[in-house]
Structure 1
Amino acid sequence: MRYIDKEEIENIAIGAALLGTGGGGDPYIGKLMALQAIEEYGPIKLLSIEEIPDDALIVPSAMMGAPTVMVEKVPSGEEAIASFETIKEYLGKDVFATMPIEAGGVNSLLPLALAARLGLPVIDADGMGRAFPELQMVTFYLDGVSATPMVLSDEKGNDILLNTINSVWAERIARSATIEMGGSVMLAIYPMDGKTVKQSSIHHSLTYEEQIGRTIRNAKNNNLNPIDEVLKITKGYKLFSGKVSDINRRTQEGFAKGEATIEGLGEYKSKDCFLHFQNEHLLAETGEEILCVTPDLIAVLDSETGMPITTEGLRYGTRCVIIGIPSDVKWRTKKGIEVAGPRYFGYDLDFTPVEQLMGKGEQK
C-alpha cells in the first residue's frame, strides 16, 4: 500500500495517455479532476493486488462516450458519485475499492478522483492494459465476468441501472443511452469480488503508467532521447516518423472515428503511414505493409518531447513518431483476438504480433 499525491498524478496522466493508444478520453481533464480531489481530500490510497480481500466488493469506474465530446462536456465528479451510490444501493453491500477499467487516458484518472472524494482506496490494476472502445473489450469479459449490473449517470441527474443478458448487449444498450445523454456518461461497471479481480485483471497498471510518465518527464532533464527511453520501458518498436499531413476525424455512433496520414521524414521520406482509429488507434499501415494492428498498442508521440498525442490532439503539421507495443498475453489468446482483433473492427487481415511484423516485414 502507498499513497498517490500530485507528483504521481502528473506522471500517471502521461503514462495513461500513452497506453490509451490515442483514446480513453483526454487525460488532461482527468488529471485536473484528480489534482483537485487531492487538494480537497488528501492523497489517495493505492492498494496492490495482493492486499484485496477475496470477498471484498470492487467496482471499477469509468467514462463512456466519444473523447471529442468530453473536451467540451467536462464531468463535475457528481456523476461518478451518483453511479456508485446507485449500484451500492442495488447490491446492498458497501464498495471496498474502485479501479480503472482501462489503462488509458481519462479512464485511468477518473477512478482516482472518485476515490479521493469517497475516501476509497484504488486497486493498482485494470481490465485492458491499454484502452479499447467497447465495454466488452476487457479481460474480465474474457473470463466470463458480466459487465452488469452497471449504472450510467449524466450531468443532468439521470441514472440508468442496466441488467443485460451479456456484456455485448450491455455495450449496445449503454452506447445508445450515452448518445441520448449527451455523448458521454460516467459508469459504475463490472462489479466483482476481490478474488475475481486478482484472477482477471492486469496487475500493476497504475504503477506502470507512473513509471512511463516519469521516464518521459526525466528524459530531457538528463539529456536523453525520450523516444528511446519510452521504447526501453515499454519494450516497444519504432514504426514510423514524420508529420501529420491529413486528419479525418468524426463523431459517429458514439465514437470518435477517423484516419490520419503521416508523411514520412528522414529515413521514412517518400512513404506515408496511415493510422485508423475508433477512439483508439487500431491499425498502422503504409498501404503495402502492416506496421501494427490491434490488440497490440499503437501510440503517437511528439518527436521532440516524447509526449503522447491523443486522436483528438492530432493536428496538421505535428511532427511525431509512431510506436507499437506488444499487448498483454491475455489479448493474444484466441478469445482475446476474437473480441478485440482486427477482424472485429472490419479489417480484412489476421492479427500478427508487432514483434513479428517488425522482424519480418510481413505484407498484406
Structure 2
Amino acid sequence: MAQRIITADDMDTIALGGAFLGTGGGGDPYIGKLMAKAAIEKYGPVTVISADSVADDALCVPVFMMGAPTVMLEKLPQGEEAIAALHSLEAYMGRKVDAVMCVEAGGLNSTIPFAVAAATGLPLIDGDGMGRAFPELQMVCFTIEGVQATPMVLADDKANSVVLNAISNQWTERLARASTIEMGGAALGAGYPMTGEQMKRGTLHDTLGLIQQIGETIESERAANRNPSPVLVEQFKGRKLFTGRVMDIERATVGGFARGKAIIKGLDKDAGNTFTVEFQNEFLVAKNGEGQVLATTPDLICALDSDGGLPVTTEQIRYGLAIDFLGLPCNPKWRTPAGLDLVGPGYFGYDHDYTPVEDISLS
C-alpha cells in the first residue's frame, strides 16, 4: 500500500500550500494547522495513502468546515466538531468509515482532515474533490461523477448536530447553508460518503502531495529572500496577472458567504493601471481597468504578499497591502461542460464566457 507518514512538523508546510491553493478562500489554514498539530502530538502521526490503494468496497468520507471564512476569525472551532460529525454519520449509516479525505485542496479544509485522521486513527486519502477551493458544497468532482452529498452531518461548537438528506447536491448546499447560518455562520461536517470505487473516479489524485510540494517551494524561496511567484507560475504553467497595492476593499458576510471586491492600483510594470478582483469566499474573476477579464473561475486566481511571499486570503486583504496575483490553469475536469455548469462564470452570474487563463491576451 502506497503511503507516507505526516508528523506535526509537516503541518507548517502543508498549511502554506493549502493557503495558496485555497485561491483566497477555504478559511485560514492556520487554525486547522493548530488543530492538526495538537491532534498529531496527542494521538500520533497521520498515514496518508494513495487513492488507488483503497479497496473498491471501502467507505470513504470527506470532513470539512462550511461557512464564511470571515466568521472563522472570531468563531474558532472547539476541535471536536468534525469528529462528532463523522461519528454521527457512522451511527446513521450503521457502518464504520475506512478512510477520510479532503473535500477541497485549499485553506482550512486542507488541514482539518489531518486533525480528524490523527484523532480517529483513520488513514487520509491523498486527493480531494476540487484541486483548489470553491464556495459551495456541490462544487466537487464527486458531483460530476454522480456521488450524492447526503447523508451529511453538520456539527457546531455548542454540540448541536443535524443530519441532512436531500434530493440533489444543490439542495444539500441550500439546506446545509441555512443550517450553518443558524449555527453561527460556520460549522464542521462529514458528507459525500462513497465507496472506494466511486472515490477513485471522482477524486483529483495526489493533491495532498501537491500541497506539501507548494509549501516547500514557498518556504525555500522565502529562505533565499526570493518571492515564490515566478517559481509557482512556472510549476503550474500559469502566468502572473499583475502586481498592485490594495486601494479599496468591499467585503461583507452575506448569505453565509464572504462576498466582495478588491480594487488594486498597479505597481512596477503595472503602474498606471487599475485592477479589480471579485470574490465569494474564493477569488472568482480578475479584470483590468477597462473591464477585460484576465482570469476567471474555474481557473485559479492566487494571491501572494509581494513583500513577504506568503499566500493572502480574502479575509486578510486590507488597504495598502501589495499583492502579486497569479492565474493558474484548473484541473481539466473543470473545463468540461459538466464542470463549467457547476463552477463556470455563468453559475456565479457573470456574463462573460470561460476562456482558459493561458489563452487570454494580457496586452
Letter in 1 for 2:103: I
1:225 Cα deviation after fit: 3.9
SS of the residue 1:117 aligns to: helix
Give the structure 1 partner of residue 179 of structure 2. Answer: 177
Q: 1:22 aligns with which of 13, 21, 24?
A: 24
Q: Is the CA contact 1:45–1:122 (under 8 Å) kept in the aligned structure 2?
A: yes
Give the structure 2 partner of residue 103 of structure 1. Answer: 105
SS of the residue 1:315 aligns to: coil
Q: Is the CA contact 2:273–2:289 (under 8 Å) kept in the aligned structure 1?
A: no
Give the structure 2 partner of residue 204 of structure 1. Answer: 206
Whole-Å Cα distance in 1 between the matches of residues 261 and 246 of structure 2? 11
Give the structure 1 partner of residue 344 of structure 2. Answer: 341
SS of the residue 2:95 aligns to: coil
Give the structure 1 partner of residue 34 of structure 2. Answer: 32
1:361 Cα deviation after fit: 3.8
1:8 Cα deviation after fit: 2.0
Q: 1:124 aligns with which of 109, 123, 126?
A: 126
SS of the residue 1:28 aligns to: helix
Q: Does 1:296 align with 2:299?
A: yes
Letter in 1 for 2:220: N
Whole-Å Cα distance in 2 between the matches of residues 102 and 225 of structure 1? 26
Q: Does 1:318 align with 2:321?
A: yes
Whole-Å Cα distance in 2 between the matches of residues 160 and 169 of structure 1? 15
Give the structure 2 partner of residue 236 of structure 1. Answer: 238
Deviation readout 1:137-167 (Å, 9 max, x if unpaired): 0000011111000001111111111110000
1:224 Cα deviation after fit: 4.2
Runs of 4+ in 1 over 4 A off after TM superposition: none
Whole-Å Cα distance in 2 between the matches of residues 11 and 244 of structure 1? 27
Task: Map 1:79-94; keep pairs closer than 5 Å.
Answer: 79-94=81-96
1:219 Cα deviation after fit: 0.9
Letter in 2 for 1:87: L
Q: Is the CA contact 1:56–1:193 (under 8 Å) kept in the aligned structure 2?
A: yes
SS of the residue 2:52 aligns to: helix
Give the structure 2 partner of residue 285 of structure 1. Answer: 287
Point out where structure 1 has 5 or more consecutive residues left out of the alignment: none
Give the structure 2 partner of residue 268 of structure 1. Answer: 270
Give the structure 2 partner of residue 10 of structure 1. Answer: 12
Alpha carbons of 1:254 and 1:225: their partners in 2 closer, same or farther (altered >3 Å)? closer
Give the structure 2 partner of residue 256 of structure 1. Answer: 258
1:38 Cα deviation after fit: 1.1
Whole-Å Cα distance in 2 between the matches of residues 63 and 331 of structure 1? 22
Q: Is the CA contact 1:226–1:305 (under 8 Å) kept in the aligned structure 2?
A: no
Q: Does 1:307 align with 2:306?
A: no
Whole-Å Cα distance in 2 between the matches of residues 8 and 52 of structure 1? 23
TM-score by length of 1: 0.97
Deviation readout 1:161-191 (Å, 9 max, x if unpaired): 1110000000001101110111000110100
Q: 1:151 aligns with which of 141, 148, 153?
A: 153
Q: Is the CA contact 1:77–1:114 (under 8 Å) kept in the aligned structure 2?
A: no
Give the structure 2 partner of residue 351 of structure 1. Answer: 354
1:77 Cα deviation after fit: 1.8
SS of the residue 2:162 aligns to: strand
Give the structure 2 partner of residue 330 of structure 1. Answer: 333
Q: Is the CA contact 2:61–2:97 (under 8 Å) kept in the aligned structure 1?
A: yes
Deviation readout 1:331-356 (Å, 9 max, x if unpaired): 00001111101111011111000000
Whole-Å Cα distance in 2 between the matches of residues 133 and 44 of structure 1? 27
Whole-Å Cα distance in 2 between the matches of residues 49 and 145 of structure 1? 16
1:287 Cα deviation after fit: 3.5
Q: Is the CA contact 2:154–2:190 (under 8 Å) kept in the aligned structure 1?
A: yes
Q: Is the CA contact 2:129–2:203 (under 8 Å) kept in the aligned structure 1?
A: yes
Worse overlay, 220-229 or 233-242: 220-229
Deviation readout 1:107-149 (Å, 9 max, x if unpaired): 0000100111111110000000000000000000011111000
1:282 Cα deviation after fit: 0.1
Q: Is the CA contact 2:275–2:288 (under 8 Å) kept in the aligned structure 1?
A: yes
Give the structure 2 partner of residue 166 of structure 1. Answer: 168
Whole-Å Cα distance in 2 between the matches of residues 297 and 323 of structure 1? 8
Whole-Å Cα distance in 1 between the matches of residues 32 and 246 of structure 2? 26
Letter in 2 for 1:348: D
Whole-Å Cα distance in 1 between the matches of residues 262 and 73 of structure 2? 20
Whole-Å Cα distance in 2 between the matches of residues 32 and 307 of structure 1? 18
Point out where structure 2 has 5 or more consecutive residues left out of the alignment: none
SS of the residue 2:100 aligns to: coil
RMSD of aligned Cα (Å): 1.1
Q: Is the CA contact 2:104–2:132 (under 8 Å) kept in the aligned structure 1?
A: yes
Letter in 1 for 2:353: D
